[in-house]
Chains A and B, each alone.
Chain A
Amino acid sequence: MTVKEENKLEKCHFLLEIGVEEIPSALIEGIADYIEDEIKKVLQENKLSFKESIKLNSPRRLFFEIKELDSASADEELILRGPPEKIAVEEKDGEKKFTQAALGFAKKNDLAEKDLEIKDGYVYASTIKKGKASKEILEAVIPEIIKKTPGKRFMRWADTDAKFTRPIEWINASLINAKSLEKELVEISFEDIKSSDLSFGHRIYGKNSFQVSDQKDYLAKLAEESIILDPQERKNYIRKASTQLAETVKGVPLIDADLLDEICGLVESPKAILCEFSKDYLEVPGLVLSTVMKVHQRYIPVASEKNHEELLPYFIVISNNPEASAEENIKKGNEKVIIPRFEDAMFFLKEDNKIKLDERLSRLEKINFQVGNMKEKAFRLERLAELFISELKSKEQKVEIDQGFEESCKQAAKLAKCDLDTQLVFEFTELQGEIGGIYAARQSYPSDVAKAISEHYRPRFANDEEPESLAGKVIAIVDKLDNLIANFAIGKVPKGSADPFALRRQANGLLGIIVHSQLNIDLESLIKTIIHSNPIYVETNNKIADEAKEKKFKKLTTEDFCETTINFLEQRLDFVFAIYHSKNHINKAVIETNSPLKKLQFMYNSIHLLSGFEENSDYTNFTQAAARLASMTASFKDFSEEDLSINDSLLKDESETELKKLTDKLSKILVNDYKLEISFTEKDLTGAITTINKFFDNVLVNDEDAAIKKNRQNLVYNLNKLFAGIADFGQLKNI
């Protein structure tokens, strides 16, 4: 079958507007993306080309335009092969005639006898497959696309079976001839809606409906009602207008990307209005006030120009009513709404401050945790912090550990969860930790204790800041470790994409802090100590396992716990190191060595050294030599690791003696108790190349004499062990 493109086609612009009752702000973009992608996919499948696809939206309308679209798909010439000549043609009265077989083939394909021809022993016919009009294709496919759009909490309405984010109010669809600008309605019907060429303006003060002749006309008519359909433009307006308003009171708007996105999805005719509140409320911590404004009301808080931490008694509301005459009303209304919210916050603050954080410890008993309760967790965190600090102190560190540190760190660990008992955190869960820090400061706890409490949930999301203070870091790490182990205890190990407790993020977070802050610790041993010294994990697990009716619940031993936790963290290393270092092959080779958690700092340093080393001309020679040692070691059969000593009298060749010397020398440099700073250099590695290669060239490891063989195996094994601790060089030899 051959395909031949034919006839030149006309171009047209496809306009589609889906009018919807207010779409949830967070869903607009995702829905628009899906519909655009699906339309493009269908056009591609139908070999319809177009120049450009445009997508604009507001909470009330999803608009798509496909520019310069083929008005129909091209005709295709199809060459069809029929039955073989011998059954398709018979000779009658000296004349060749088509048989029933041939005529049947023609009929089946809607062809006449005259269209048939004989070629190479078969009947052939050519036919034109007519192109399909874009209009027809779009009419069929748009309702299907709408119906299949996926999204959170979609709904039915009235008698519909189909679901969408909110009820669809209208569909406006047309094709406009690119040359003649003639408009043709695209007839789409979806549930109770039939498309038209009408659009509707702003819900409240807009025109009831209007004709749309093309995209420019459409946007102009929307603009008459101050509707900004381009979300990026809306955001620009919001940012600019609120900056200008804030300037009038010597302030800056506190508008983060999330808030901006959300507000942008709440309005189509944005209008910024500056509102004021009483200075008395500034007594409430700024963080709480701005959360109240942002979370409850989607207001933009205003901070002092000079100090962005200091709130001013203003906020900016982005209204959806651009009429100037409405401004005063809207301002007054919004100023009134926020007062009870602030009053509540003041009330909680006053009530909360009546009870010191220390006194809340015993009240944490009421709050359950995965294992035991929060009070137990608080005291456990204190012990874990102590274990962490003693691990920290046992090794050389970059960070300074001063006298008072240990005490404040332990105190902060114990008090870190106390704010869970406060009313303010009950109202604003997202401020946990921060509120604790604020209360600690107001209740005259040492400032480093307050700081550590306030930052111990960090990083709360990918790319969030890590704690600044060492105590904050320590508590952040042990808290996350405890969360991991406690969740594993109750069988909550993340699977696939399901990770409801964000354990992967917490693992990334704690490893990130260790690596980033260059804390030189043996995390593997620390985990083991933590699990061994806190039997509550295993006890909780075994209790659930005993009570579980399903056999599926896995009963774990202390060793299982250590293994699960260590494995889980090891699997996060790829991700963690990728943030600091982009050469993934090196990261991987370094991570895939024995016990990576024992030597995070060493690995971090090794990765940097190796990526520099990669530029060295001897790099490949070294990786190949090291890989040779590794693969030789892997090939040993019945090799015992019990006796690894070298018997000098069995060293036959000079190269063996040299290899032994090299091993002795390197074992002093590539020690296994990992130091803060890396002690080997590129030179130590390149210096080994000749010795290794000479050894393999000169001697046969698998000697007939068993004693010599073992001695040589030991030589290889010992040296390999040193290199294999740095990286799996087998992975690097060919890169």
Chain B
Amino acid sequence: MSLSFQEILFRLNKFWSDQGCIIMQPYDTEKGASTMNPATFLRVLDNKPWKMACIEPCRRPTDGRYGDNPNRLQHYFQYQVIMQPNPKYSQDIYIDSLKALGIDPKENDIRFVEDNWESPTLGAWGCGWEVWLNGMEVTQFTYFQQAGGIEVKPVAVELTYGIERLAMYIQNCDSVFDLVWLEDNDRKILYGDIYHPNEVEQSTYNFEVSNISNLQKLYEIYKDEAKSCSEKELAIPAYDYVLKCSHTFNLLDARGAISKDERQRYILDIRSLAEKTAKTYVACPQKLS
């Protein structure tokens, strides 16, 4: 019997906990990628040693397929690891984490293929690779160089596991919805049992039901809130509203409500909010320590 989905998560938690990482809990605001978790985006700006790992739900409304496509979801999970400064031989530690999942590197083709990560909305970029497991991209491996337009020093390494893909590989399963989340004697709970209705309803909402003009209004409201928080030097709540702006932009995009020119404007807009928040955070005295 191969590892269940939740067992994979437990093992990763255990592995990274043993590496000295704080196992954080997911952040409660919608985000498109785990990098957007403040425990990553803001924390790396502390320029202090910081190690954390967590499972992070992510939303990408445009990727929804009403639960019909075996490989595409608008809501999915990333397993996120941040180590600042990056330890020496980070890649080997990562490979060990695969071993912890029962993947024998000697029986597979594991490769690090150049992929420089860049988030135009966060003013962040880094160098690294996508990690291939027999041709399948299972992890994004990035040495963070900049976040919110600010240099990250010491450099942090970010590992982002595409956890569903990895699980599909481990369970030799062709559809994400058939992944075994929990196996308890004869009882099997599948990924689809838990999340398929979510995919159907959210896709319907994202593509058909959401109200464009309301979303546009929300976007403006969130933007105002982000700005006023920043002005009061409250970087952390400001950042929540940056995330809200970003998610609202994604919802508008899924509705096809954004033209090419507008897209550029929105991106620059969010980017400047993110950069402002990052500056506020760095300057702000009440940083968590």
Taking beta carbons and an 8 Å cutoff, which residues of A are in contact with B? 21-22, 24-26, 59, 153-160, 166-167, 169, 192, 203-205, 266-267, 297-299, 317, 319-321, 323, 325-326, 329-330, 332-334, 336-338, 340, 366-368
Contact = CB atoms under 8 A, between A and B. Distances in A.
B134 interface: yes
Given A156-B155, A266-B111, 7 more contacts: A203-B92, A323-B106, A326-B109, A330-B108, A333-B134, A338-B135, A366-B260
Interface of B: 70-71, 85-92, 95, 105-114, 116, 126-127, 129, 133-136, 143, 145, 153-155, 169, 174, 259-261
A266 B113 contact: yes
B114 A333 contact: no
Chain A at the B interface: mostly helix, strand, loop or mixed? Answer: loop
A297 B135 CA distance: 7
15 contacts: A22-B112, A157-B143, A158-B86, A160-B155, A204-B106, A298-B113, A321-B110, A323-B107, A326-B106, A330-B108, A333-B136, A337-B134, A337-B136, A366-B260, A368-B260
A333 B169 contact: yes
B100 to A, nearest CB: 15
Nearest to B127: A155
B268 to A, nearest CB: 17
Given A166-B127, A167-B143, A297-B135, A205 B106 contact: yes
Contact of B88 (A156, A158, A299, A338): A158
A325 B86 contact: no
B25 to A, nearest CB: 28
B109 A330 contact: yes
Contacts of A25: 113-114
A341 to B, nearest CB: 10
Q: Which residue, A153, A299, A325, has most C-beta atoms of chain B within 10 A?
A: A153
B134 A158 contact: no
Contact of A329 (B107, B112, B155): B107
A401 B126 CA distance: 56
Contacts of B108: 321, 326, 329-330, 333
A153 B115 CA distance: 11
B261 A368 contact: yes
Contacts of A299: 135
B135 A333 contact: yes
Contact of B145 (A156, A319, A332, A340): A156
Contact of B260 (A154, A320, A367): A367
A24 B112 CA distance: 9
B34 to A, nearest CB: 21
B11 to A, nearest CB: 20
B177 to A, nearest CB: 14
B85 A158 contact: yes
B91 A21 contact: yes
B135 A204 contact: no
A317 B135 CA distance: 9
A22 B155 contact: no
B134 A156 contact: no
Contacts of B70: 340
Nearest to B65: A347
B112 A204 contact: no
A332 B133 CA distance: 11
A321 B129 CA distance: 18
Contacts of A192: 88
Most buried by A among B71, B109, B112: B109
A26 B113 CA distance: 11
Given A158-B86, A330-B109, A333-B169, A366 B153 contact: no
Contact of A159 (B90, B113, B154, B169): B154
A203 B110 CA distance: 10
Contacts of A21: 91, 112
B273 to A, nearest CB: 24
Nearest to B134: A333
Contacts of B109: 317, 319-321, 326, 330, 333
A266 B86 CA distance: 23
Given A21-B112, A317-B135, A329-B134, A155 B106 contact: no
Given A333-B134, A334-B135, A368-B260, A155 B71 contact: no
Given A153-B127, A321-B108, A22 B114 contact: yes
B13 to A, nearest CB: 25
Residue with the highest number of chain B CB atoms closer than 10 Å, among A167, A297, A367: A167
Contacts of B145: 155-156
A671 B57 CA distance: 77
Nearest to A152: B116
B48 to A, nearest CB: 12
B224 to A, nearest CB: 27
Contacts of B95: 203-204
A157 B136 contact: no
A600 to B, nearest CB: 38
A157 B90 CA distance: 11
Nearest to B72: A340
Contacts of A368: 260-261
A593 B275 CA distance: 56
A315 to B, nearest CB: 10
Contact of B105 (A26, A204, A334): A204
